[in-house]
Structure 1
Amino acid sequence: MSSTPIIDYVPEDEWPTVSTMLDGFGQQTLEASSSLSGTSLVLIDENGSSTEYIFETGTTLRWRSDATHGAPTGTATYKAIEARQGIFIVDFVVGDGVDARNTTFVYDTSTGVATSGLSTFFKGEDKVRGNTEFIHATTPDSTNAPAHRRSSKLVGKRIYYRYSDTEAYEHIYLTPGAFTWHCIRGGEQGLADTERCMVFDVAEDLYLFFWTEKVMAVEAVLLVDLGEERSIGRMFGWDDSSHEPVILPFNSRLSILNTTNYPQDHNKH
């Protein structure tokens, strides 16, 4: 009779570095799209500031902006993935070392609505930490559709994510602002924590999901697609051993294990 080995609690000072996950997560299975090549995209945020992205090729963009966040102009190598028809997730990194910043935005061509996550690093009291700012914007010819709103639709779900043949995690969504992750198989096997998160509605069964970690400097922005049963996006982390950023493309197949519905007995004694 076989038994499951006991994996005990792992103290924080024994956790591996962020780069431990690099080899196990593999490549994104959705190919990069060149559909934006030769086009430009103007996004006007909630404060009226404008940013124009000029997609010069399928991999190179430049921008100009009068917004207070980020640089007013610049160029970058980008990746655009069409997660669903007409819905793109665009990702690029500029800068080096602790000054690097990772921009990821989700753009719905049918509505003209976009949400950008801008992740940066800062030096905390004892180590480098991460921060992500979200900016909601629309194109000048948008359909007046609402911005991607905060969502509670993942709350109660327990989802199993297969990132590769060697890496598997589960997520348990506790509230609109907190979830628990647990590494079932892979470089972080046995590790688990509860983190701050945010979820935004993008389309039916499609969510922009963000989380930030307490132990490691990790800022993750991705699309969770319950309809297509996959997630895709990126993790932007700081590796304390090499003193440099780690950019990890996220790609998984997912299964909903269960959904918790609490009994309505709070008024009973």
Structure 2
Amino acid sequence: MSAALSCIRMERESRMNPTDSPREVSGLLEHRLPQSSALTGRAYAVTLPDGELALDFGEHTVAWRLPDGTGGTDPYDAVEAAVDCFFVDIWCRSSDARRSLTLVLQRATGRTLLVETVADTSRHDVPVAFEHRFALGMLRGVEAAGVEQPGPTAELLGRRLLSVYSADLVFEQIYLNSSSVAWQCIRGWEPGANDTDEATYWRFAENLYVFGFREEAALSSSVFLLDLANNRSTGKYLGLDEHGALANGALGAVLLPLEASTYPRGMEPR
């Protein structure tokens, strides 16, 4: 996966504006689900632990405002990644290009999960470092009695998946423990390339998982919604391009489950 994101730097970057669709980046979008217009013309208020996130969706752009008052209007990418479950990504360039907002939104239950990606360019040891901030939310006005609440999970640990971005681009992921993922390039940019990176795992609903990882070597970060019922992955990245500038774009893959590891009781990874 790290190599997959690195190979984007060898392509024309997706800048997520109405005239430059994320679908135009080759290789990593062949199996991405289509963009959805279901949110166009709708406004949502998301109750978060520290306040309210306001979203007003137009045809190509969304007006957004965070609980701290920071806001702007930017292009967005929306995909119905599972039935009535939307993966929405906003690169906050109108306010601060070092920030992106990824929202998983289920309208029927009102459940949301916000992943704020923040790029720290002030460090002296690396050009950029990334942080993911996960925040559970609820759509204002939707009653969620009896609905499962998303939260951190260990359910993916020990699993192995192949992410098939295209016939020529395949990566394997092994979910090692609650803070790490291992990957290797099976086919594509650099077969055999591999690494272990920081990761965060949340269960959103049955067979739906939100997976974020930060790649130190590739100077990039990614957020994915894994639909294990239909074996699809919908994601985004924020990272440095070949010119050292921040770039934000889309990812999507077909998932092929491999044999999972079974650990003896009391020896499960944490």
Shared fold per TM-score greater than 0.5: yes
The equivalences for 1:61-72 within 5 A come to 61-65=62-66, 67-68=67-68, 72=70
TM superposition shift of 1:176: 2.2
Q: Which of 101, 104, 120 is matched with 1:103 structurally?
A: 101
Alignment correspondent of 1:50: 52
Alignment correspondent of 2:137: 137
Residue by residue, what CA displacement relative to the aligned partner does 1:140-186 show, whole Å, maximum 9, x if unpaired?
A: 22314454201111111111111112110001111122110111111
Q: Tell me the SS of whatever aligns to 2:253.
A: strand
The equivalences for 1:85-164 within 5 A come to 85-95=83-93, 99-123=97-121, 124-126=123-125, 127-142=127-142, 143-144=144-145, 145=147, 147-164=149-166
- 1:248 correspondence with 2:249: yes
Conserved in 2, the CA contact under 8 Å of 1:19 and 1:246? no
Conserved in 2, the CA contact under 8 Å of 1:201 and 1:208? yes
Separation (CA, whole Å) in 2 of partners of 1:102 and 1:265: 39
Alignment correspondent of 2:36: 33
Normalising by structure 2, we get a TM-score of 0.83
Q: Which moved more, 1:156-165 or 1:188-197?
A: 188-197
Separation (CA, whole Å) in 2 of partners of 1:173 and 1:35: 33
TM superposition shift of 1:120: 2.2
Letter in 1 for 2:254: R
Separation (CA, whole Å) in 2 of partners of 1:163 and 1:17: 12
Separation (CA, whole Å) in 1 of partners of 2:52 and 2:118: 21
Alignment correspondent of 1:202: 204
Conserved in 1, the CA contact under 8 Å of 2:7 and 2:189? no
Separation (CA, whole Å) in 2 of partners of 1:18 and 1:215: 15
Separation (CA, whole Å) in 2 of partners of 1:17 and 1:165: 15
Conserved in 2, the CA contact under 8 Å of 1:27 and 1:249? no
Separation (CA, whole Å) in 2 of partners of 1:99 and 1:86: 29
Conserved in 2, the CA contact under 8 Å of 1:32 and 1:82? yes
Letter in 2 for 1:247: N
TM superposition shift of 1:44: 1.0
Letter in 2 for 1:19: R
Letter in 1 for 2:33: L
Higher relative contact order (CA 8 A, sep 6+): 2
Residue by residue, what CA displacement relative to the aligned partner does 1:172-207 show, whole Å, maximum 9, x if unpaired?
A: 111122110111111132211111111111121111
Separation (CA, whole Å) in 2 of partners of 1:81 and 1:242: 29
| Structure 1 gaps, min length 5 | 1-15
TM superposition shift of 1:88: 0.6
Letter in 1 for 2:257: I
Residue by residue, what CA displacement relative to the aligned partner does 1:186-241 show, whole Å, maximum 9, x if unpaired?
A: 113221111111111112111111111121221111111111111011111112x3
How many residue pairs are counted as aligned between the two chains?
Answer: 246
Conserved in 2, the CA contact under 8 Å of 1:112 and 1:138? yes
Conserved in 1, the CA contact under 8 Å of 2:148 and 2:205? no
TM superposition shift of 1:78: 0.9
Give the direction of change, closer, same or farther, for the CA distance of 1:190–1:202 in structure 2 (3 Å limit): same
Separation (CA, whole Å) in 2 of partners of 1:197 and 1:153: 14
Q: Which of 73, 76, 79 is matched with 2:74 structurally?
A: 76
Alignment correspondent of 1:168: 170
The equivalences for 1:10-21 within 5 A come to 19-20=9-10
Give the direction of change, closer, same or farther, for the CA distance of 1:18–1:146 in structure 2 (3 Å limit): same
Runs of 4+ in structure 1 over 6 Å off: none
Q: Which of 225, 235, 238 is matched with 2:237 structurally?
A: 235
Residue by residue, what CA displacement relative to the aligned partner does 1:30-85 show, whole Å, maximum 9, x if unpaired?
A: 111111111111011112x112101122x2211234x23xx623111111111112
Normalising by structure 1, we get a TM-score of 0.83
